[in-house]
Amino acid sequence: MLLSAVRTSRLHRLAPAVAGASALAFALTACAGSAGSGGGEGGGDAAGAYEAGASQEDVDAALADLEPVEIIYQPSAASQESVQSPSGTVLAEAIEERSGGKITVDTVWGQAIAGYSEIHDALGDGRIDLAYTLPVYDPAQFPAVNALGDALGGLDPSPFVGEMITNAVATDVAWQTPEIVAEYEDLGISPIAPTVASGGYYTMCNTPGVEESDFEGRQVRIASKTQGELMSSIGASPVSMEYTETFEALQRNTVDCTLGQLVPSAESGIFEVAPHIGYMTETSISRSPGALIAGSGVNDLPLGYQQVIFDAYTDYFHGQMMTTINGNSVAIGMAKEADGEVEEIPAEFQQQIAQFSEDKRAELAESGVAGDELQARVEESAEKWATRIEEMGYSDEGTTEDFDEWFDEDTDFRPVGQAIFEEVILPQRPA
């Protein structure tokens, strides 16, 4: 009954835009990449289309004859007050502003419509129109996405520049990998950022100690199969669970540590029960990739509205980095306030983790699950974006331990987002 009601409501919301649009059919696939080449069979039409980079005046004119619509957006944050909220609010505001108010974004917090295990189905059946998803929780359905997450292990681990580089690489390489795009296409949903690297991984434990020997026998919550294999290789016992369940597990001593991102850990209060952080400087742990996905309802909108949503990527990247990087700073401060120790993992231990990642990359290369030469594409992209980001003037001014002291919370990440949009996203734009 609830699903039927939601579908009926969606039809009422979308019908005016479709009815008011041009009758000229426009072949538009659910995948934006194919849309750019004119292939596929989408449900939208060509009404309201405008050139990328058009002035606001020209966009307003293009959309003038379209009826207003409302879309449902489910970001990652639990609430608008969360440290994670910019990944939701910045994108929603950008869409509404660029559309001249013709698109209203109903932002639904806290996975209230669909949890991460159900969210791709909700995008496909129209309960959600736009969402941050976690394909890492379904490796069987998204093997290529998860392979890229594994391949990102070993990139720059810094909580500032490293985050920008790795997130740029994730989206860049994902759009170069047809196997990744196909995993979404097959579900009738459209990637905008097929892989979002999100934040780097740190150890957070209820007792101090970042030596390899400290992890022997520890129960460690992990987010992916590869992370579980890493923990097993150092003598720890991996425990798989969603991050929303982690606080209670640490509080009850069901687990001793979590291998996780700092931002969701701050949001869920992890540092109250596990304030001791271990970080790396020479390598990094594999990522558990997310994605920014448009659902089937967006594909039914007139082309101009689809372009507005797609073009908001620059602001999305800014909001995502505000969430991830600002959140890293907040989290380190919270750990210190909870009397936690923020320690660098010893060099020899880092070398062992790096070797594990290298071996894992060799396995991926042999499997071919994400196409040929995945690691070569990752390394080439990482070198490119490291250079670009340095040229833009971004640099680390201290260590992870004192990141909460030297990071400028007013940093604007849009220049990086715009560069990614122009080089990576724009060729995939619905057109």
User: 202-287+338-374, what's its fold?
Assistant: D-Maltodextrin-Binding Protein; domain 2 (3.40.190)
State the average pLDDT over residues 212-236.
Answer: 93
Burial of 362 (0-12, 13-18, 19+ CB in 10 A): exposed
State the average pLDDT over residues 363-376.
Answer: 85
Task: Please report which confidence band the pLDDT of residue 364 belongs to, taking 50, 70 and 90 as the band edges.
Answer: confident
Task: Please report which confidence band the pLDDT of residue 369 belongs to, taking 50, 70 and 90 as the band edges.
Answer: confident
- Reply yes or no on whether the pLDDT at 416 is more than 50: yes
Per-residue pLDDT tens digits for 47-83: 999 999 999 999 999 999 999 999 999 999 889 988 8
Task: Please report which confidence band the pLDDT of residue 198 belongs to, taking 50, 70 and 90 as the band edges.
Answer: confident
Task: Please report which confidence band the pLDDT of residue 44 belongs to, taking 50, 70 and 90 as the band edges.
Answer: low
State the average pLDDT over residues 4-15.
Answer: 37
DSSP state at residue 343: E
DSSP 105-142: EEE--TT-S--TTTHHHHHHHTS-SEEEE-GGG-TTT-
2-199+288-327+409-428 and 202-287+338-374 share one CATH topology? yes
Phi, psi of 134 (to 5 degrees): -125, 80
Per-residue pLDDT tens digits for 73-110: 999 988 998 888 998 999 999 999 999 999 999 999 99
Which of the pair, 42 or 160, is modelled with greater confidence? 160
**pLDDT value at residue 28:** 32
**pLDDT value at residue 14:** 41
Rounded CA gap, 388 and 395, in Å?
Answer: 11
Per-residue pLDDT tens digits for 283-296: 999 888 899 999 99
- Reply yes or no on whether the pLDDT at 312 is more than 80: yes
State the average pLDDT over residues 406-430.
Answer: 97
- Reply yes or no on whether the pLDDT at 159 is more than 70: yes
Per-residue pLDDT tens digits for 163-179: 999 999 999 999 999 99
% of the chain residues with pLDDT over 90: 77
Per domain, the residue ranges of the chain are 2-199+288-327+409-428, 202-287+338-374
Task: Please report which confidence band the pLDDT of residue 3 belongs to, taking 50, 70 and 90 as the band edges.
Answer: very low
% of the chain residues with pLDDT over 70: 90
Handedness of CA 312, 43, 191, 260 (dihedral sign): positive
> Are residues 303 and 44 in contact, defined by beta-carbon separation less than 8 angstroms?
yes
State the average pLDDT over residues 339-364.
Answer: 93
State the average pLDDT over residues 279-285.
Answer: 95
Rounded CA gap, 307 and 301, in Å?
Answer: 10
> Are residues 132 and 74 in contact, defined by beta-carbon separation less than 8 angstroms?
yes
- Reply yes or no on whether the pLDDT at 339 is more than 90: yes
Rounded CA gap, 206 and 214, in Å?
Answer: 12
> Are residues 238 and 222 in contact, defined by beta-carbon separation less than 8 angstroms?
yes
- Reply yes or no on whether the pLDDT at 11 is more than 80: no
- Reply yes or no on whether the pLDDT at 239 is more than 50: yes
Tally of CB atoms within 10 A around 57: 9
Which of the pair, 83 or 399, is modelled with greater confidence? 399
Averaged pLDDT of the chain = 88
Of 6-15, 99-108, 346-355, the poorest mean pLDDT is in 6-15
What residues are paired with 278 via a beta bridge?
203, 343
Rounded CA gap, 6 and 414, in Å?
Answer: 35
CATH of domain 2-199+288-327+409-428: 3.40.190
- Reply yes or no on whether the pLDDT at 19 is more than 80: no
Of 3-17, 183-197, 321-335, the poorest mean pLDDT is in 3-17
Q: What is the 3-state secondary structure (H, E, C) of 349-380?
A: HHHHHHHHHHHHHHHHHHHCCCCCCHHHHHHH
The residue assigned the tokens 């750019």 is 36
Both structure tokens of 45: 């039409």
Rounded CA gap, 159 and 162, in Å?
Answer: 6
Pairs from 212-219 (Cβ < 8 Å, separation ≥ 24): 212/346, 212/348, 212/349, 212/352, 215/257, 218/256, 218/257, 219/254, 219/255, 219/256, 219/257
Rounded CA gap, 71 and 418, in Å?
Answer: 24
